[in-house]
Chains A and B, each alone.
Chain A
Amino acid sequence: MSNGDSLWILLPTGQRASGEWIDDTLHSRASEQGLLDRLTQVAAFPRQRVEVVRGPNAEGQVNEMFYRRGWADGLPIVPPTMARVDAMLRGGGQPRNTVLGEAQPLQGLVTVEKVAINAVMAGCEDCHMPFVLAAAQALIEPEFNLRGVQTTDENVTPLLMLSGPAAKTMHMNSRFGALGPGWRANAAIGRAVRLIMHNLGGGWPSAVAFAGLGQPGRYTLCLAEDEEFNPWESLREELGFAADDNVLVVQRAESVVNVTGGLDDLASVMASATSSFSRLHGGTVAVVVAPYVAKLLADEGRSKAEVKAYLHENSKMTAAAFEKTWIPSRLAGQTKAPRWVREALAAGGVPAVEKPEDITVIVAGGDIPIPQCAYMPTWGFPSCRIAKKIDLPQGWSPVTEI
């Protein structure tokens, strides 16, 4: 028999419908880009579902091995043992072999089991699985344009916003530090989504993904809409769902821009060149309004729709300034701005987005009088605000038994 630990692990990486493993393509790309000095074991793994790792410190071995194979995000991962994955699958309530679709660009099949494996690696609790599944389904919707997101030179990443009563019970943070570290749901669910993009879609940075800088949101970008501090209808109700539904809303987001202040400060940021891509591609941006600002606005009797209209109206960039921004000036004459942009410029200034409804507004953050709002610009075609209602399995419990 074996000495020390014996870990039975399931492999997280993608296999196409044809049976090919995406790591073989990735090996070629990584080699061309000089990544194999660091990722020394790319494509060097048994082409199987299960691998057995033995010996003292097997968990540590798996962690190191996965990093060298290119399957991690740079932080330690939780080795996806069969037992852990089985528990994660129970948490999700879906059969393991169900195929949800293919992850672009390398077309690894997104099966429920592979989602669970990456969710375990990310540090998810079993009760997070229904949310990870919903996010995975959103990613592979054509309107999300996963191929674009994975391969562009822009720094775009999925933005996950949870609207619903489960957010509180599963401790997804919507208050102080909602976009920062410390809360497992925010950290792990967003990280699981990134690992799925990485391991099933093959979006390895500098091998397939050529984002110039990327952004910290590519580790995780996940928060909940606050219920108590929201004076208006919830995001899920705006989108036609019921108050007691749990809805995950997914958009494409460039880096989060911090805005200390209120609507005018937000509008000023939105008017700047940060909104270049929504002016080129159209699309849906997101605004997080601090509780303090939300209360002020509500006390003034302003509805959410009025807030959006205000931001839209005041996010205008003049034609003179617009011509100087990178895209129109570099691609002068070669790329036509969308008609709404040209018409707006002719009329005096182009807003960040085509219409107020293209702004997603949620209330989140700590309740302090120096309000921390945020603006997430967008990138890419087509306009994308994907809402997935979470069907919680029978007996779902937000508390994981130890």
Chain B
Amino acid sequence: MLRASAAAEAAGVPSSSLVCDGFLGQGATTAVGLGLPNLPMAKVPGHVDTQTDNELRDNLTSVTVNAVIENLTAAQPAAVMIPEPGPQDVVMEGSFDEINRFFYENGWSDGLPIVPPTRAKIESFLAFTDLPTEHVIGKLLPDNREATVWNVAVNGVMAGCKPQYMPVLVALAEAMADPGYGVEHSGNTPGAETLITINGPIIKDLEFNYEQGALRDGFMANTTVGRWWRLYLRNVAGFILHQNDKGTFGNTWRVVLAENEDALAKIDWPPHSADFGHARGDNVVTISRFTGGDVIASVFGQKPEDMLPYLADALISQSGWQLIFTVGMADGSYTPMLVLSPILAETMAKAGWSKGDVRQWLFENARIPAWKFEQYIVEFTNFYSGGRSMFELAQLGKANELYGVSKDPDRLVPLVCDPMDIQIVISGDPGRTNAQVFSHNGILGFPTARAIRLPNDWKNKLTGAQ
């Protein structure tokens, strides 16, 4: 039953289904099965077979007609939300092992032991934000669940964060909820992983590591905040392996990358957060999704012109299928990241080069032949199968004009559409001439920044916590 109505509704035509009394329950259930739980139904009282014509006429005019009018004119209520345990419900009592087993078996853990989120621990996190507990930060797809100050704190406890990391976590939840970031893509097949960078005095306040081993575990702030990110994606956004999270291999949480603000000050280069309108001294987190990339070891040279060709080559060698985000799937949303150790940046700055100069040089010189670019996005991956060349796309306005300068397949084209698309961050062992390149997941994890809001009396609270 109700299939004709469902078809009408699916085609955008309002429907009213006349259903006899005894069949209303069946109708409601059938409607659910048809994917339209609120399919409008109008009751026909009694059983049509057993009524006289007059009785039927009275029933229809007094009951059914009104319902039909309402079905066809009133807005239907939205389908019911999935009820879950209340945010402040105690879900389990027991020993540490029992809680961990329970959380793991219910899909709330990443497989490592979690710190059981007790009320007391959660409240210690809440003390580090001035936002009200029920404050809704946003709604996270795919589960469409609310990100709240409370559940940020709960996951913070679980991840092993310290209470004073709470302002960072709140800012990260805000960034995750920014529609521009595209959290709903976080379960995509390539399985790129978020890299969080952090700027500002809060780096030292919370003892983030920003020097040797900046991307390795070992420092609680970098490590636990990174872990929090994936727990939050799991428990609030709803990315569960074998369900919504479809990464072929995936990767796992990265430790937070803190920029070396001392080095930046020394060479007067802007912080990474400046790309998003912030200034040195602002506490800011940024997020974007990257695939693995590589270490660029032993960047040799005393002048920028000697060092940069190697770095340009690194950007080239680490950019392959991701070029689809420059041309093809998106227009100029590929923003790879280059992490330079301080000594490399200092060498360049000593020669009078600004960060902008470095970006400009890389933009102009990290180029590949057009045929190679097209090989990645068409022949190798079939990501773009529209049958048009880059030149034609540029002519049609579907690709940046940089790609339509000529038809020559050997013409060199850039990896990105703008020098600012090459993100540069200063961190790592200050004395080692290494760099790191991360390839970027384009619009499916677009660089997003959020200012970190500190509670009133931050300094005192911090001292009290230590």
Give residues in A with beta carbon < 8 Å to B.
1-2, 6, 8, 19-21, 24-25, 28-29, 32-33, 43, 46-50, 52, 82, 97, 104-107, 147, 151, 202, 207-208, 210
Contact = CB atoms under 8 A, between A and B. Distances in A.
21 contacts: A8-B102, A8-B105, A19-B82, A21-B82, A24-B83, A25-B29, A25-B37, A43-B83, A46-B91, A49-B105, A49-B107, A50-B105, A52-B94, A104-B33, A105-B30, A105-B32, A106-B29, A147-B30, A208-B26, A210-B22, A210-B25
B178 interface: no
B98 A52 contact: yes
Given A21-B82, A49-B107, A50-B102, A106 B26 contact: no
B94 A2 contact: yes
A97 B238 CA distance: 17
Interface string B82-101: 11110000011011001001
A47 B25 contact: no
B29 A151 contact: yes
Nearest to B95: A1
B211 interface: no
B25 A52 contact: no
A8 B83 CA distance: 22
Interface string B254-276: 00000000000000000000000
B106 interface: yes
Interface string B123-150: 0000000000000000000010000000
A46 B32 contact: no
A47 B83 contact: yes
Which of A46, A47, A48 has the most chain B CB within a 10 Å cutoff?
Answer: A48
B368 interface: no
Given A107-B33, A208-B26, 19 more contacts: A19-B82, A20-B80, A25-B28, A32-B25, A32-B28, A33-B25, A47-B82, A48-B85, A48-B91, A50-B105, A50-B106, A52-B92, A52-B94, A82-B105, A97-B242, A105-B33, A151-B30, A208-B25, A210-B22
Which of B29, B80, B107, B242 has the most chain A CB within a 10 Å cutoff?
Answer: B29
Given A32-B25, A49-B107, A106-B29, A24 B80 contact: yes
B25 A19 contact: no
B105 A107 contact: no
A47 B86 CA distance: 10
B32 A52 contact: no
In the A-B complex, the 10 residue pairs with the closest CB atoms:
A105-B33, A50-B105, A48-B106, A208-B29, A97-B242, A20-B82, A47-B84, A49-B106, A25-B32, A50-B106
Nearest to B1: A151
Contacts of B101: 8
B238 to A, nearest CB: 8
Contacts of A20: 80, 82
Contacts of B83: 21, 24, 43, 47
A313 to B, nearest CB: 36
Contacts of B85: 46-48
B108 to A, nearest CB: 9
Contact of A202 (B25, B26, B29, B91): B29
Contacts of A2: 94
Contacts of B25: 29, 32-33, 207-208, 210
A25 B83 CA distance: 12
Interface in B232-251: 238, 242
Contacts of B91: 46, 48
A2 B95 CA distance: 9
A207 B30 CA distance: 12
Contact of A151 (B26, B37, B106, B143): B26
B208 to A, nearest CB: 35
Interface in B155-207: none
A55 to B, nearest CB: 12
A147 B26 CA distance: 11
A298 B28 CA distance: 53
Interface in B57-111: 80, 82-85, 91-92, 94-95, 98, 101-102, 105-107
Nearest to B101: A8
Which of B22, B28, B95, B238 has the most chain A CB within a 10 Å cutoff?
Answer: B28
Contact of A106 (B33, B82, B238): B33
A48 B89 CA distance: 13
Nearest to B108: A48
B237 to A, nearest CB: 12
A202 B242 CA distance: 24
A21 B79 CA distance: 13
Contacts of B102: 8, 50, 52
Nearest to A98: B242
A103 to B, nearest CB: 10
B167 to A, nearest CB: 31
A208 B29 CA distance: 6
Given A19-B82, A47-B82, A147 B106 contact: no
Contacts of A52: 92, 94, 98, 102
Interface in B1-46: 22, 24-26, 28-30, 32-33, 37
A174 to B, nearest CB: 37
B32 A107 contact: yes
Contacts of A33: 25
Contacts of B98: 6, 52
Contacts of A105: 29-30, 32-33
A2 B33 CA distance: 42
A339 B95 CA distance: 70
Contacts of B29: 25, 29, 105-106, 151, 202, 208
B28 to A, nearest CB: 6
Contacts of A21: 82-83
A107 B30 CA distance: 10
A10 to B, nearest CB: 8
B17 to A, nearest CB: 15
A57 B98 CA distance: 20
B143 A19 contact: yes
A203 B37 CA distance: 16
